[in-house]
A and B are shown apart, each in its own frame.
Chain A
Amino acid sequence: MSGNAQTLLEVRGVETYYGKIAALRGVDLSVDRGEIVTMIGANGAGKSTLMMTICGSPQARTGQIIYDGADITHVPTHEIMRLGIAQSPEGRRIFPRMTVMENLQMGAALVDPKLFEDDLRRVFTLFPRLKERISQRGGTLSGGEQQMLAIARALMSRPKLLLLDEPSLGLAPLIVKQIFEAIRELNENEGLTVFLVEQNAFHALKLAHRGYVMVNGNVTMSGTGAELLKREEVRAAYLEGGRH
């Protein structure tokens, strides 16, 4: 049991390697219930590796990942996902030749089929665009719709913790806004805990309650979203050159 019952996810001194190359060099962070926490950083900082390490693929070489009081560091990926963690992976990874409906059914693979209709209604209220596209093939959706589908698919498993890896990747600013708005709604209305990995520091820090900054596999700064937005180093490194 971790010290604080409020803590849903805790990462303690995690180091992850790809072969001999260290991608994470001792990362510590925690996510409380009902929080939106973001991790920002440049390309190759190790953000996505951290996300994948939480999901157990690849597994951390040292350190611990505690979820809901249980050590999940060495639990296989598919079993971690059964504990109430859902992930919208980097690059969305929807199933391109399956319809929107089938993609959502895949998301609900572990949930009692009786709840499917309700959950479907819930994600359609959140993303009405998906309802229009219900029988369309996933690969024919626009980038924004695919991202909505990836998040909706993750939500179909009724998670306690939603992991989002760069939901703004390659999307128009307006769509990014819509998607971040949807994340905020989820958090405010349903109390869903969200851990968000983003390069789009401005939007991510505005949305998140707390944030961490990652550089070269190390967490170098942390604080509330508003605090980090004001920090000179953050502004210089991630925000100059336009609020996109």
Chain B
Amino acid sequence: MAASETQVPTSTQKPVGAQAQSEARRAAPHTTEAASKNRLAASLRDAALAAFLAGVLGFFFIGLRTDLAPGGLDIRARWGAWLTSIAIVFIGRLALNVFVFKAAHPVGEGVGAKIAGVGKAAPKLGKWLTRALFIFALALPFFFTTFFPGRDRQFIDLAILIMTYIMLGWGLNIVVGLAGLLDLGYVAFYAVGAYSFALLAQHFEIGFWAALPLAGLLAAFWGIILGFPVLRLRGDYLAIVTLAFGEIIRIVLLNWYSFTGGPNGISGIPKPTFFGLELGRGDDGFAAFFGIEYDPIQRFIYLYYIIFALALLTNLVTLRLRKLPIGRAWEALREDEIACRSLGINTRNTKLTAFAIGAMFGGFAGSFFATRQGFISPESFTFIESAMILAIVVLGGLGSQLGIVIASIVMIGGIEMLRNLGFLTQIFGPGFDPVQYRMLIFGLAMVLIMVWKPRGLVTTREPTAALREKKRIGADMVAQGEGH
């Protein structure tokens, strides 16, 4: 089927498969009874084929199950589950055929357009949403301590996690969204930041606030180190090299036992202080100094505000840079490197600054991660983290600050929320564990976003300069594939 789509239909070539069906549908809008009978037969045939494929594929995956048994493995047949899955595929495919694929008027014809239309009404909405989210983020810890006193710690912890990803997303956005350099190894800078602080604290007893700029500097330095060899690469090639870089850093951390502690990681990383005051129970602690009662939640609230401030810093710097010549040069570089060079832009330095500044924020976030966890090991910096951050940036809409916030909340918060889907056990029986399905649901959500909003959730791009009034650039003008 895929091959037939790529062929250019010529006069001697008749389209086949779905293409032929859709063309036939277009050719004969007035369906006759014979045609509808035909369609039903075709639908049944197609559904039967899908069910057969599901049967073949599922034979080993679903039909058979191996269990540990004394003396080796025991194979158990699960024909019931196998047949059920075949039936689900058959009925599902048939329903899709009848109502969507082969129907004269597909159900949900305008869904895509409607969803895309939401983005068009967005300028005002986006502005208000930004403000609302900001105010909520500002008051978030007190919101949870007031309204969910029993579970405030859990919620604030989740908010800290989401905020960390927002910051990482904003940091990566400089590299990927603005400068258009696809970086699959961003977690490397996160790791550099975390280990910088951890090692500085371990060997020189440097506190969080003093180590923070150092960690950022070191990460930026590594950004430049990565940047130099990949200056001539773009797109897929760049992605592969950055992917390798991310793995190199992780494997070095894992194997350089004498320096990094290897897989044991580094523990006992100090907590951040408030102008020299510890957030602890002691007499010289924060609570005692201000004469308020000590509560363990205070530390979480403080951590939340630190990451909130760091994320805000990232955002403000990005927004400011976009309006400066360097930020404009990043965006121009994303659009057309040759044109940039012919305008006298030093593309090497421009790329390196994007790498360095993006890496610096990754380093800040890494330091924060280390101080929050108190313990780090290479396990926290696997490729899946890079992929997650990149997914946030891409799903949010490349280059969109608000999109990244929404994507972080949906993806990180959503995954965590899926842990709490206890009510589903009432539907699927007590054996159902929603946690096992969360990656499936997560993947499905990503597919749906890419089907309906292929350019990400927020596709409008705010121009950085205007003569009189600002005008939005709508999603329809940022069509897929243009500008490359």
Contacts and interface: CB of A to CB of B under 8 A. Distances in A.
Given A78-B345, A106-B328, A110-B344, A89 B339 contact: yes
B341 A57 contact: yes
Nearest to A96: B483
Contacts of A110: 343-344
Interface string B317-340: 000000001001101100110111
Contact of B467 (A77, A107, A134): A134
A157 B465 contact: no
A140 interface: yes
A2 interface: no
B105 interface: no
Given A78-B345, A89-B342, A102-B465, A97 B482 contact: yes
Interface centre among B341, B342, B482 (most CB of A within 10 A): B342
B331 A98 contact: yes
A81 B340 CA distance: 10
A22 interface: no
Interface string B398-439: 000000000000000000000000000000000000000000
A105 B465 contact: yes
A107 B473 CA distance: 21
A94 B339 contact: yes
A110 B478 CA distance: 28
Contacts of B331: 95, 97-98, 102
A106 B329 contact: yes
A222 to B, nearest CB: 26
A78 B346 contact: yes
A19 to B, nearest CB: 16
Contacts of B329: 106, 109
Contacts, number: 103
Contact of B345 (A93, A96, A102, A109): A109
Given A102-B328, A109-B325, A96 B335 contact: yes
Size category, A interface? 20 to 34
Contacts of B478: 97, 137
Interface in A92-147: 93-99, 101-102, 105-107, 109-110, 134-137, 139-140
Given A55-B342, A78-B341, A78-B345, A97 B328 contact: no
B342 A87 contact: yes
B482 A96 contact: yes
A101 B335 CA distance: 15
A237 to B, nearest CB: 30
Nearest to B329: A109
Contact of A105 (B328, B470, B477, B482): B328
B471 interface: yes
A55 B341 CA distance: 9
B343 A102 contact: no
Size category, B interface? 20 to 34
Contacts of A98: 328, 331-332, 335, 463
Contacts of B271: none
Interface string B338-369: 11111111110000000000000000000000
Nearest to A90: B338
A97 B461 contact: yes
A102 B343 CA distance: 13
B464 interface: yes
Contact of A99 (B343, B344, B346, B473): B473
A135 B463 contact: yes
Contact of B477 (A86, A109, A137): A137
B67 interface: no
B478 to A, nearest CB: 6
Contact of B335 (A77, A87, A95): A95
A57 B338 CA distance: 9
Interface in A43-100: 55, 57, 77-79, 81-82, 86-87, 89, 93-99
Interface centre among B329, B461, B463, B478 (most CB of A within 10 A): B463
B344 A101 contact: no
A77 to B, nearest CB: 5
A137 B347 contact: no
A233 B338 CA distance: 35
B344 A102 contact: no
Contacts of A106: 328-329, 332, 340, 343, 345
Contacts of A109: 325, 328-329, 343-345
26 contacts: A57-B338, A81-B342, A89-B342, A93-B338, A93-B339, A94-B339, A96-B336, A96-B482, A96-B483, A97-B473, A97-B478, A97-B483, A101-B465, A102-B331, A102-B464, A106-B343, A109-B329, A110-B343, A135-B466, A135-B469, A135-B470, A137-B477, A137-B478, A139-B477, A154-B343, A157-B343
Interface of B: 325, 328-329, 331-332, 335-336, 338-347, 461, 463-467, 469-471, 473, 477-478, 482-483
Given A78-B346, A137-B478, 15 more contacts: A77-B342, A93-B342, A96-B482, A97-B483, A98-B331, A98-B332, A99-B465, A102-B465, A105-B328, A106-B328, A109-B329, A109-B345, A134-B467, A139-B483, A140-B477
